[in-house]
Amino acid sequence: MSAFPLLAALLAAPAAAALLASRARSDEGARRVALAGAAITLLLSLAPLALARAGVALAAGGPALPLLGARLRLGLDGYSAALLPLLGFVLLALVAGGPRAALDRPTAAALLATGSAILGVFCALDLALLAAAWMAALVPVERLVARKGDPLLRRTCRIFLLGGTAPLVAALGAMAVLAARRGAALPFDVEEISRVGVPEAWQSPLFALVGIAVLMRMAAVPFHGWLPVLLERGPLGVTVLLAEMQVGVCVLLRVGVKLLPAGFAEGMPVLAVIGLISALHGAVLALAQTDLRRMLGYLVSSQKGLVLLGIATLNPESVSGALLQSVASSIATTGLALVIAAIDARAGTTDARELGGLVAPMPRMAAFFFLLACATIGMPGALSFVSEDLLLHGILHVHPVLAVLALAAAAIDGITLFRAFQRAFLGPPRRDRLGPAVEALALRERAFLLATVALTAVLGVAPTRLLALHEPVVERAIHDVARGAGGAHAADELRPLHDGGHRAARPGAPPSP
């Protein structure tokens, strides 16, 4: 049985809901359509995950596009299969758990359209489809920013659009042309390109283009400026969806590692340095912020820097930990974004200097912020505790100094979050800001915040199934880069690291001391 109808239905569900929401007669009608569309997306996303865990191959071809020499080929690996329900959950949480006043018709449609495009990136095994989905994910936020009329936002969004799409489109187009010259029947097909190979002389410049696009989407230094600005002044829900869904990691593994292994091997040191600088830079700047939304932007940039460092280190433990960390940070920071949105809806500001004493009128909100802060920084019992342990152990095998600096970045992130908790929730209450009565968290808000805390705790206690899904992806990435870096010699250099870290990445085995 072909998996194409299932994956096509998954991509089409939020897109159809976005179209219906944009044509709803009222904002309330759009919210109901968005809620139904997000719920259906979550349900559909569970089926590919179940099939992937059962060992069923999830790669299928659809209709051909003869003029382009492309075919709508969809498929998943263990990492992207785990990202599908994550996106469904985050989308449903943002729709149902966010402030209703912020979810008008254009915003509801933009959330669903962005989710559909991101699903396209996760599932695309055709470079033309991948490029189209990558660009489509940025269009809804640009339209929302254009409606707001903020010149800084529009300028930031345009730079993000051009900087994040042009290099990737150029690289993917060049790879298709090179594959066609080598006799590929479907020059945009990822497997076909992998079979014929990209000439080694082209791999480094093409990987540089792909790397720029990925670094832009991951808000890495020096391409980080768009994320704090959009999170502070732009549409919070759509920006969280763009920032927390790991499309950059997915493209880095599917295109950079699989199709350009020699270019990735050559660029590994550069990526590692950029990842470390991004982790430290984001952590320090987050500590200096007073606005909670802007602080969250730098915090996400710091977390993504750690993920990039773990992948670039290319140790089995560090790569496994990086993939796990990307999932853990997405869950926890989405919950933090919901709490910050709730504060903004009630207090009219997210400036910590104008807040204080929220723990008295809103103790549940304070408890959720504290628990999600713990989940973000890797407290025991959370998924991030397992992921950071693997990540730092893997980096330690390669370079102890990098591991110490990465640990310092994680520690600063923790100080930032607990300082924000102290400023916003402790101290004397600001009655001039909050008014005589502050509305408590609604039932729907409590439900999704509780689900977020529960999800990170359950996965933290039992992460073996998630590690088992990621393990083939980790092994294939290391094998591909070793092959691209020079065959047997590079494989011999990587084998000691693989033997030293593989036990921790295998399901059911504890991390190595």
Q: How does pLDDT run across 307-329, given as a tens digit for each residue?
A: 999 999 888 899 999 999 999 99
Who wins on pLDDT, 502 or 149? 149
Q: Which of 55-59, 220-224, 316-320, 494-498 has the lowest mean pLDDT?
A: 494-498
In this structure, of 217-231, 354-368, 426-440, 463-477, the range with the lowest mean pLDDT score is 426-440
The pLDDT of residue 195: 87
Query: Residues 251-261: pLDDT tens digits?
Result: 999 898 989 99
- Which amino acid, 152? L
Least trusted range by pLDDT, from 84-93, 431-440, 462-471? 431-440
Task: Give 31's pLDDT tier (boundaries 50, 70, 90).
Answer: very high
At residue 280 the predicted structure's pLDDT band, cuts being 50, 70 and 90, is very high
Inside any domain, residue 211 = no
Does the residue 343 lie in any domain? yes
Higher local confidence (pLDDT), 10 or 483: 10
Q: Is residue 476 in a domain?
A: yes
- Could you tell me the pLDDT band of residue 379, with boundaries at 50, 70 and 90? confident
Question: 50-59, 204-213, 242-251, 282-291: which range is least confident on average?
Answer: 50-59
Q: Are 203 and 53 in contact (CB under 8 A)?
A: no
Whether residue 495 is contained in a domain is answered as: yes
Tokens of 34: 């968005």
Quick: pLDDT tens for 453-502: 999 999 999 899 889 888 888 999 898 888 776 643 444 444 433 444 44
Q: How confident is the model at residue 245, as a pLDDT?
A: 84
Out of 11-15, 156-160, 207-211, 413-417, which region has the weakest mean confidence (pLDDT)?
156-160
Per-residue pLDDT, 490: 42
Q: Is residue 182 part of a domain?
A: no
Give the pLDDT of residue 170: 92
CB atoms inside a 10 Å sphere around CB 265: 23
DSSP letter string, 480-509 = HHHHHTTTHHHHHHHHHHHHHHHHHHSTTP
- Mean pLDDT score, 158-166: 78
Can you give the pLDDT at residue 231? Answer: 87
Domain span at residue 362 reads 261-513
pLDDT of the residue at 510: 39
Of residues 31 and 149, which shows the higher confidence score? 31
> Is 423 a member of any domain?
yes
Question: What average pLDDT does range 160-172 have in this prediction?
Answer: 84
List helix spans (H) across 126-150: 127-136, 139-148
Q: What is the mean pLDDT of residues 214-235?
A: 87
For residue 430, what pLDDT is reported? Answer: 64
Instruction: State the pLDDT at residue 440.
Output: 74
**Average pLDDT in the 269-275 region?**
92
Mean pLDDT across the stretch 84-96?
A: 93
| pLDDT-above-70 percentage for the chain | 88
Whether 49 is in a domain gets the answer no
pLDDT, position 154: 80
Of 51-65, 263-277, 290-304, 492-506, the range with the lowest mean pLDDT is 492-506
- Listing DSSP states for 331-396 in one string gives HHHHHHHHHHHHHHHHHS--BGGG---TTTT-HHHHHHHHHHHHHHHT-TTSHHHHHHHHHHHHHH
Helix (H/G/I), strand (E/B), else coil: 206: helix
pLDDT reported for residue 234: 82
Q: Is residue 363 part of a domain?
A: yes
In the chain, how many domains are there? 1
User: What mean pLDDT is reported for the chain?
Assistant: 85
Structure tokens at 454: 């529960």
